[in-house]
């Protein structure tokens, strides 16, 4: 008998805004962030098994652990379900786009379907981004990642993601913050009539981790300039703790043209046109 399996995509998570509003006594930072997900990501094939296993492949597999250090195996262990998992990596690791957390969330969703049981509460023990990746659509994320408010009226946003291939340790970026107590976004977020309006408002917000990231890695500056100067770009910003940056465009044709131009100018970068939703 063939063992049932599920193949799921683990989409890239993009922080369109990221306001650091405080820090708890346990060290966790308080955030206020608009998060959307790309139509691009890793792929996982998950089946139930007697013995847990993980196989990693794909164009971004180099350096990704295939043992208990990988969050997908820890997610299966946390759920109490042994699984055989094949992880096809298309997203750069440790890049500010939630690759590991999204992989873990996809694993939990797959195991929930295969066992016909819900994902237990408390997935934040696996990582602060796992709950938002379980949610998987446009959302306002607050607290340490546990407060999730859907944004059903957010328009889909054509974008380009670009990563210059530098390592930016999250801890070092947070440590470089000049202030931990920064203003949040407004209590009520506006409704947007189209991409240009959304981009204009998002451009008036912040990613508080961008200045320390730029200080640690000048390549982030170069990436942001390349995106901002690309034809049709409406705004550009870093996602998460970096080093992946993004720009928004009026339509997907403009995003694809910009991605082609940036690839020609920077052939060593990871560049991808995407639709955020």
The residues with which 106 forms a beta bridge, in sequence order, are none
Residues in CB range of 253: below 8 A, 6 or more apart:
none
Residue 59 token pair:
């164009």
Catalytic residue among 32, 42, 129, 208: 129
Question: Is 180 part of the annotated catalytic residue set?
Answer: no
- DSSP at 4: P
Which residue has 């070092």 as its token pair? 172
Question: Is 39 part of the annotated catalytic residue set?
Answer: no
- Please compute Rg for the chain using Cα positions: 18
- Enzyme catalytic residues: 13, 129
């Amino acid at each position: 008998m063939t063992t049932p399996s599920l193949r799921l995509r683990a989409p890239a998570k993009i922080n369109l805004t990221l306001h650091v509003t405080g820090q708890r006594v346990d060290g966790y930072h308080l955030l206020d962030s608009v998060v959307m997900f790309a139509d691009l990501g890793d792929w996982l094939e998950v089946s139930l098994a007697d013995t847990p296993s993980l196989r990693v492949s794909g164009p971004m597999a180099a350096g990704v652990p295939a043992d208990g250090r990988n969050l997908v195996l820890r997610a299966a262990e946390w759920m109490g379900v042994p699984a055989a998992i094949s992880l096809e990596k298309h997203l750069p690791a440790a890049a500010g786009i939630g690759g590991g957390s999204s992989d873990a969330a996809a694993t939990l969703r797959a195991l929930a379907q295969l066992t016909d049981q819900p994902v237990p509460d408390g997935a934040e023990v696996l990582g602060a981004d796992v709950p938002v990746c379980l949610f998987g659509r446009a959302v306002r994320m607050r607290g340490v990642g546990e407060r999730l408010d859907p944004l059903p009226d957010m328009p889909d946003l054509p974008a380009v993601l670009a990563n210059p291939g530098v390592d930016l340790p999250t801890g070092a970026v947070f440590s470089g913050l000049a202030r931990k107590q920064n203003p949040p976004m407004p209590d009520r977020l506006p409704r947007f009539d189209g991409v240009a309006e959304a981009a204009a408002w998002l451009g008036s917000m912040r990613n508080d981790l961008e200045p320390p990231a730029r200080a640690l890695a000048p390549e982030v500056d170069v990436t942001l300039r390349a995106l901002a100067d690309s034809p049709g770009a409406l705004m550009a910003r870093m996602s998460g703790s970096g080093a992946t940056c993004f720009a928004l465009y009026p339509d997907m044709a403009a995003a694809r043209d910009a991605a082609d131009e940036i690839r020609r100018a920077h052939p060593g970068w990871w560049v991808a046109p995407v639709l955020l939703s």
